[in-house]
Copies of this chain bind each other. A is one copy, B any other.
Amino acid sequence: MENVIDAARSGSGHPSIEEVARREGLNPRFVMAGIAAGTIVIPCSNASGRANPCGVGRGLTVKVNANIGSSADMESIDSELSKLDTAVRHGADTVMDLSTGPRWREILGRISQASPVPLGTVPLYQVFGEVLEGGGEAGDVEPDAMFSAVEDHCRLGVDFLTLHCGVTRRAVELLKQQGRKLGIVSRGGALMAEWMAARRAENPFYERFGDLIDILRRYDATFSLGDGLRPGCLADASDRAQIEELVTLGELQQRSLASGVQVMIEGPGHVPMNQIEHNIRLQKTLCGGAPFYVLGPIVTDIAPGYDHITSAIGGAMAAWFGADFLCYVTPAEHLRLPDVEDVRVGTVAARIAAHAADVARGSTGARAMDDAMAAARASFDWERQFELAIDPEKACTERRKAMPSDTEVCSMCGRLCAVKTSRRALEPEPGGR
């Protein structure tokens, strides 16, 4: 079968394009035009065949990714499969497996088999993880091993790959000059920078970007050009290193697109609210309108335990200003590896942000969901309210914790229910005006 991007360009069509157009309620021609121009991607490797492909980009609804995966300290396949299931049930459009422990291959294989939604990974973790676990140093990794890992992941059916191609010598030098508060907070970015320092060499993913294009094109996989130098605190946001990397990602986006490989761009990070709009607009202009995949942004550093909320604020704003794809952040962020409950809460929070932005952007069908909820509230139809809720089980459980004597209303106002009073107040006055 033709690659998605070739099929979009030739107009011959592709099952994933048809399916995405159907889900979005759009004409397949619109989706094809976006893919051809690089403003839309459909991450669907020819080695996977997911039940639920998803489109990301301009004119589509905002999508949500959930990160799962174990670290060496806590590895359990069952737990990761349970996180996958939880994320998908709560509306994650894609999942990334970020496992770094010794059993990563087994875990990734099982997740790849089980995932109905597009799957992403960061292949660098394993290349470096194995060398470091074996007592070696970052500089011991051979460049060819990095490219082999990319191919390895593609073979396992990964649909989109985070590759830190923009962590160049110049960008790292700018970062050092400037003196960041928190240095490099991307695992992949930091590992690549350590390798570059040890070898005194340029980033192989940048120097040999054509080799990456060849591999991804074979599997019809999608680039997610990583933001290895994203800010890890408000103080580091929008600095020269971050923007230099973005300039490079724009350059690579153009090359990738020209070579017929789909590409999206990853973005920050920790960003104060007043810097979100220009970060998004700058990405769009520098990177040819490519889909923007943001991690957060987290709008304050002081809320560990609540970073699903700090990132819901930033994510909603980012998506309203044009970001296309929100990577969730869980309450465990900055504290520990998320568990299944964190995955649930993180997914729901990111879905809320995505939906709020869809409403603000006027995405097809978005506001209809809110209007249906308003109608259910007006008619005291609680079962319908639960059905329409972003997390039906949660809504139902919370209500039942404290039921009022009049079961039609809720215990907030009890007998003074405003909606009931309003009904009486707004009845036409007999003989009224």
Contacts and interface: CB of A to CB of B under 8 A. Distances in A.
Interface of A: 71-74, 100-101, 125, 128-129, 132-133, 138, 172-173, 175-176, 181-187, 189-191, 193-194, 196-197, 200, 232-236, 272-274, 299-306, 308-310, 312-313, 316-317, 320, 331-339, 348-349, 352-353, 355-357, 359-361, 367, 369-371, 373-375, 377-378, 385, 388-391, 394-395, 397-399, 401-405, 410-419, 421-429, 432-433
Contacts of A337: 402, 410-412, 414
A60 to B, nearest CB: 18
Contact of A416 (B71, B333, B410): B71
A370 B336 contact: no
A305 B172 CA distance: 44
The 5 closest A-B pairs by CB, nearest first: A233-B374, A183-B422, A71-B414, A190-B421, A193-B425
A428 to B, nearest CB: 8
Contact of A300 (B194, B331, B352): B352
Contacts of A367: 234-235, 272
Interface of A is mostly: helix
B320 A274 contact: yes
Residue of A173, A200, A272, A361 with most chain B CB atoms under a 10 A cut-off: A272
B125 A353 contact: no
A182 B348 contact: no
A68 to B, nearest CB: 12
25 contacts: A71-B414, A73-B402, A73-B404, A101-B414, A132-B415, A175-B426, A183-B426, A190-B421, A193-B425, A194-B424, A232-B374, A232-B419, A233-B370, A233-B374, A233-B377, A234-B371, A274-B320, A274-B360, A301-B373, A301-B377, A302-B389, A303-B391, A310-B352, A332-B412, A334-B385
